[in-house]
Chains A and B, each alone.
Chain A
Amino acid sequence: MRTMKMLPPFVIAFIATFSLSAHAQRAPRIGFIYPAGGQAGRTFEVVVGGQGLDEPKGAIISGEGVTAEILEHIKPLGAVAAGDMREKVREMQTKMREIRTAGKIAPNDMLPTIRRLMREAEVTERDLLQLSEYDRRRNDPKQQQNLQIGETVRLKMTIAENAAYGTRYWRLHTAGGVSNPLRFVVGQHTEIREAEPPPEFDFEHYTGGAATYRKHEKTKKALVTPTATLPVTINGRVLPGEVDGFSIQAKKDDQIVISVQARHLIPYLADAVPGWFQAIVSLTNPEGVEVAYADDYHFDPDPVLFYKIPSDGEFHVKVHDSIYRGREDFVYRITIGELPFITGISPLGAKAGSTTEVTFMGGNLRDQFKQRFTAPEKPGLISLNATVGPWTSNSIPFQIDDFAEESEREPNDRLGVGMQLKPPIVINGRIDAPRDADYYQVKGRGNKPTVFEVFARRLGSPLDASLTVFDSTGKELDTNDDHEDLAAGLTTHHADSRLVVKLPDSGECFVRVTDTQNQGSLHHAYRLRVTPARPAFQLRVTPSTVNAQPGSSTRLTIHALREDGFAGEIALKLKDSPSGFELKGATVPAGKDVAEVILSVPSAAAEQPAVLHVEGTAIVDDDTGEKLTTTAVPAEDMMQAFIYRHLVPVDELLVDVRTVPVKPAK
């Protein structure tokens, strides 16, 4: 008697579970865009990798002037589908062999015959390409199966001539909803792309197995990207073990800047350690000698190189991951040229509404090293850059506060000697030499809590601050090296310091700012904010893209970043939202930092996603009844290195209300 081998019940159950949940088309999730940017005024192709990308409709890109047109969705073959396809190909091969053996075919009729056989077998060129790709992945040790970026969509991107330079947020819109956002850069220079093998397939290749594949790979010519003329932006990506190289034509006395964007494009990789593409860049002269190298820039993982070209010639730029990892989402952009680059500014901020002169430090800034401008009326962060000739420099953050400001005055490098501060105040200071220490004096406040906070790293300064408060006798009251600021989602080393100290009434107290690493330079600027403790909160809302069926409810997560002892309840509501959206009775309960709230969406589907704003209000001072209202910053709750999580701010909270197609059960 023949016995049937049955799948264990748990396997059947497992398959059932996950195929059931796949009935409703899942919302798209994207992992990379390549190239992750392009030049204004150009049209070019990009590939987006992700999961659940069925039926792509278009892209939603922040700002004006960037549009996308879907060209193709490519879903990789699974093992079963690949086997079926291979069987069809073999049948076609057999038929072809029979035809040739019978001598019934003229050479010119070969291709038409192949195409006829393909039509009869219902095999398209796309099918063959996919089978080829399946084999390539299976046989290439550099390729891994990564479901999360396994599907791709090809798009035609068009960037208007007048589109603003800088980083945009890019989401894919499909029948299943709107994807998470990724960063996409509108550049100002000529862009080129790393040379890549064209998609190839032939009968021998995809039916010959691994040996044929290896032979095929060996016979391929080395790919060389043409020598670039500066300035240029090069787009590329690395696979495991790869070192990408490019040739550039440089002229004597050019002060070139080579800046890499890798982590900037994809800040965190959930399933990689280190948790981002840690790019390394080097420059080799025409004689083959490495003349410059960078593995970061100050504290930023993305490296920047500065080099003065000694003589005309062809130089080579190499880029790779620090531990030679790679994957399709290890995408980079390298901008090279004699371009303005700001390495630091002074001061790092200004009082709201004030007119301030800012000094820029950096390369190729020419006469643009000082700018005078009036700060916005609203506290917060803005970006500054310099324009030199036709080129705009990198951007650097600038903080706007609503307190009085003063600049540090020397001498102030020992206890008892230093400026007298009258809180609330912001001091713009600098640790201008190694082992420098800046002291300030402040009067006791009747044992009331005073906040001392250094803003440096968060504003682009390399300072690794350390903050210490002493009483009038010089006895240390408290000290802090690193203060974790959850609002700084892109920061992984929270180098800025913060202390809340109850200053005794008697006499002067002292505060000292130093660099933990005993470094100091013109770049080691800081802002020291000294204020009475102000109970307050910030809000983050995740995810930044939500997909919901018409008339349904969905969840948003609200993160409360509480400050200076505020522990009260925060009432939440939608601000100026389109009709039909409702956040009923939502709160972040007292003492809690995270709350899941239910968002009701309109009963009718909409063509485009709605932009929502969540607002929180709370009584932050029980004695005075003072209320604080703040708008939640849309963010992505991103994981890196399998464990750490960061709330990374993005542009908008989008809610897409649409009827999602239901797939037939497998």
Chain B
Amino acid sequence: MNASLLPLNRAQRRDLLETTSLFGGVPLTRREAMRRCVYGSAGLLLMEPFGIGAQEAAPLGKAKTVIQVWLWGGPSHIDTFDPKPEAGRDFSGALDAPIKTNVDGIQIGQLLPELARQADKYSLIRSMTHGNNGHETAAYLVQTGRTSERDVFPSLGAVTSYFKGYDAGYKGLIPPYIVLTQPQGRFSEAGFLGPKYKPFATGGDPAASVFEVEGVIAPGISAQRQKERRAFMRELNTLGGALPGDSTLKSVFQSEEMAYELILGDAGKLFDLSLETDAMRERYGRNTFGQSCLMARRLAEKGVPYVTINYQGWDTHKQHFQTMNRKLPELDQGLAALISDLSERGLLDSTIVWCLGEFGRTPKVQTESPWNGGRHHYGKVFSALLAGGGFKGGQVVGSSNATAEEVKDRPVYPADVIGSIYQQLGIPAESKLPHPLGTLTYVVPGKEEKVPMGGLLKEIM
């Protein structure tokens, strides 16, 4: 029997593919693997769809940075990117007058006029779904694409850090995975990749007069005072004088140098938003979210691979419309400024911006006590915004039904979006993750994981 005709299991196919990549010394794309394939008809077997990555033949992208705008708590899709005025006020409440965007045929919520002017630069997914209504589990699902209860998978940010961070030649003192400003705490972003791939959460408030980044800017201590402290420390460094050339001490001193460089050098200046003009700061909005968006743009300029903005306050079981009236203008100004600024600076092509929360919210307004006009969790259908990094703008993927309660067509699952982002980042779907028990694990879930998937977002790639 011709061995090449033996049916291969998924792991064998992956190993085979990886072996072929070693021939050229670089990871192979599926297309490249097909071109080079020396296995004859087995080459076709090799290319049999497995997992999400293998379903598509899209070339790997060249995006360098991802900015994740995380609407923590779950934003209402019907009040933002999937308005349904015809569903009536039982559903829309008073936000029943959506506005046109600069793309014919696309309307968004009436409290998002600035984003309406940038619609040609982003696409909307109106058929996101996973059906999970728990904050923790849904946040995990949306950011890992996984449903496994056995393993704790890393988030998209941690995986990006793994493949695009220090291990992949990323240089600089700014960590490759930054969270502005508070970590979520509802799941471990690094998962089984471990603490090395945890995000660096800045703490502080970018909208304050001084953005006190934890470990970088010491509260209440000026740069001059820091320098004086350092000089004093050196005077006290009798151990260094007694053991000149000691390798351990040398390493310690190097670490200290790096730390001070981050605090006092050019790297630290990255967090100094006073270096931006007042006009630019105003453009983003003088609030924590707006200034976080500005900070994210500065980090993208420096090539930081993954930045998450954790924007809290979207869990609106009560006081929903009052909260929307307050928060949507903030979101509108900050996110629209981020997208347009990146575009003007020529960075949007290499920077992916995705904006969503762990789920949507019940399209029907909960008028009864104790909610009095609130909206609950809703994982059955919700929306996401996706811009830049090779994703097309001005498009809508999928749709919900007349009341935004069901996916009408083209269900899009978290793994589809995550797989598509990996694709645009140039991370092949078949890339292995270092599972602590040695279990063969790939960045995109395989069929055996039984994670629901609808396919890559090829409509906008």
Contacts and interface: CB of A to CB of B under 8 A. Distances in A.
B111 interface: yes
A78 to B, nearest CB: 14
A146 B93 contact: no
Contact of B377 (A18, A52, A146, A643): A643
9 contacts: A10-B110, A31-B370, A51-B369, A51-B372, A146-B370, A271-B318, A271-B370, A643-B134, A643-B377
Given A271-B317, A271-B371, A643-B133, 14 more contacts: A10-B97, A10-B110, A10-B325, A14-B93, A14-B321, A15-B94, A17-B89, A18-B373, A50-B369, A52-B369, A147-B369, A148-B372, A271-B370, A643-B134
Given A11-B325, A14-B94, A642 B377 contact: yes
- SS class of chain A's interface: helix, strand, loop or mixed? helix
A10 B370 contact: no
A13 interface: yes
A29 B367 CA distance: 12
B96 interface: yes
A3 interface: no
A31 B371 CA distance: 13
Interface of B: 89, 93-97, 110-111, 133-134, 317-318, 321, 325, 367-373, 376-377
Nearest to B377: A643
Contacts of B96: 13
Given A642-B377, A643-B133, A17 B93 contact: yes
Interface in A12-37: 13-18, 21, 29, 31
B373 A10 contact: no
Contacts of A17: 89, 93-94
Interface core residue of B96, B318, B370 (most chain A CB under 10 Å) = B370
A552 B377 CA distance: 33
Contacts, number: 54
Contacts of B368: 29
A270 interface: yes
B19 to A, nearest CB: 40
Q: Report the 6 A-B pairs with minimum CB-CB distance, sorted nearest first.
A: A14-B94, A148-B370, A29-B369, A148-B369, A13-B94, A51-B369
Contacts of B371: 270-271
A108 B368 CA distance: 52
B84 to A, nearest CB: 16
A404 B373 CA distance: 53
A333 B103 CA distance: 62
A456 to B, nearest CB: 26
Interface of A: 9-11, 13-18, 21, 29, 31, 50-52, 146-149, 270-271, 642-643
- SS class of chain B's interface: helix, strand, loop or mixed? loop
B94 A147 contact: no
Nearest to A18: B373
B94 to A, nearest CB: 3
A9 B97 CA distance: 10
A9 B372 CA distance: 21
A312 B93 CA distance: 64
A21 B89 CA distance: 11
Contacts of A643: 133-134, 376-377
Nearest to A21: B367
Contacts of A14: 93-95, 321, 325
Contacts of B94: 10-11, 13-17
Nearest to B95: A10
Contacts of A642: 317, 376-377
Nearest to A12: B94
A9 B321 CA distance: 14
B326 to A, nearest CB: 12
A147 B370 CA distance: 7
A270 B110 CA distance: 31
Contacts of A148: 369-370, 372
Interface core residue of A9, A16, A31, A270 (most chain B CB under 10 Å) = A270
A329 B321 CA distance: 26
A597 to B, nearest CB: 19
Contacts of A52: 369
A468 to B, nearest CB: 21
B188 to A, nearest CB: 21
Contacts of B325: 10-11, 14
A15 B322 CA distance: 11
Contact of A270 (B95, B134, B370, B377): B370
A17 B373 CA distance: 11
A15 B94 CA distance: 8
Nearest to B372: A147
Contacts of B376: 642-643
Nearest to A20: B89
Contacts of B111: 10
Nearest to A11: B325
